[in-house]
Structure 1
Amino acid sequence: MILEVAILNVIPGLEDDFFKAFSQAQHIISKMKGYISHQFKRCIEVKNQFILLVEWETLTDHTVGFRESAEYQEWKSLLHHFYDPFPIVQHYENS
């Protein structure tokens, strides 16, 4: 199992729109091959910051299977215009 971690900084003032867009986008990712589960949380101290944690069966399920899919293009059009700066996504494994 691989854990994808993304800290999402949203342009201030667009948080509610982003939350609505993510509620649509989560249905895209949850149907992808290798997807296990996800958590999406809003930061208490920094109101325009969110964290996305996604569990994948393998790293390539995310980096190739999802990111190179047509579904990713839909995900991108729903969410990417909200970010400033664009998030760094990292992957973690059990040690």
Structure 2
Amino acid sequence: MILEAVMLQVRKGMEEEYEEAFRQASKIISSMKGYITHELQRCVEVEGKYLLLVKWETLEDHTVGFRQSKEYLEWKKKLHHFYDPFPTVEHFNKVPLL
């Protein structure tokens, strides 16, 4: 399992519109092969800042299967104009603790 983590900064005053657009876009990502789950968190301290966490079965499910799909073009159309600056996406593996 891979965890995609993205810190998002939404343009000032567009937070409500963004959240509604994200609700709609959630249907896109959740339909993709290898998708497990996702959540969007709103920062308490910084207005317009969000954390997106997406769990994928494999890295390629995100980087190839989703990012190179026609569905991703719709995702971009719905969401990318809200971000300033454009976010950096990072991927993580869980560290075994026992």
Alignment map for 1:52-67 (pairs within 5 Å):
52-67=52-67
**Highest CA radius of gyration, 1 or 2?**
2
Match of 1:40 in 2: 40
Q: Structure 1: 5+ residue runs without aligned partners?
A: none
Match of 2:7 in 1: 7
- For the residues of structure 1 that align with 2:16 and 2:94, how far apart are their CA atoms? 34
- For the residues of structure 2 that align with 1:55 and 1:47, how far apart are their CA atoms? 25
1:16-51 per-residue CA deviation (whole Å, 9 max, x = no partner) reads: 110010000011000000000011110011120011
- For the residues of structure 2 that align with 1:6 and 1:94, how far apart are their CA atoms? 16
SS at match of 2:12: coil
Q: Structure 2: 5+ residue runs without aligned partners?
A: none
- What RMSD over aligned residues (CA atoms) do the two structures have, in Å? 0.5
Match of 2:85 in 1: 85
Give me the TM-score of the superposition, normalised by structure 2.
0.95
